[in-house]
Amino acid sequence: MYYSDKCPYCLKVFYVFSSNKEQASHQLYAGIKKHLVDYDEDRKEYKFDDGEQADSNEIYGEMTESNDPPSGGYQV
């Protein structure tokens, strides 16, 4: 299954392929957080400032599931 979520600052879609939804939320958190740091956007947004566990749980509740990768998305 493909799981995806958006960067809270620039709204780019990031996705992972995983058979475990909880693991996918942690991978998405790590990928999106890295993106925010790499593009100097981490200091501009406040959604992912609660720590890995809390933010991964938030992603878990918001991420989208699909059988195909999202069009125009970035794989983590």
What is the pLDDT of the chain when averaged over all its residues? 93
Per-residue model confidence (pLDDT) at position 32:
94
Range of the domain at 49: 2-75
pLDDT tens for 2-34 read 999 999 999 999 999 999 999 999 999 999 999
In whole angstroms, what is the distance from residue 69 CA to residue 21 CA?
15
Asked whether residue 53 carries a pLDDT value surpassing 90, the answer given is: yes
**Number of domains, the chain:** 1
pLDDT-derived band of residue 51, with 50, 70 and 90 as boundaries?
Answer: confident
In whole angstroms, what is the distance from residue 24 CA to residue 10 CA?
21
Among residues 30, 38, 22, the alpha carbon closest in space to that of 14 is found at: 30
What type of residue is 27? Q
pTM of the predicted protein model? 0.91
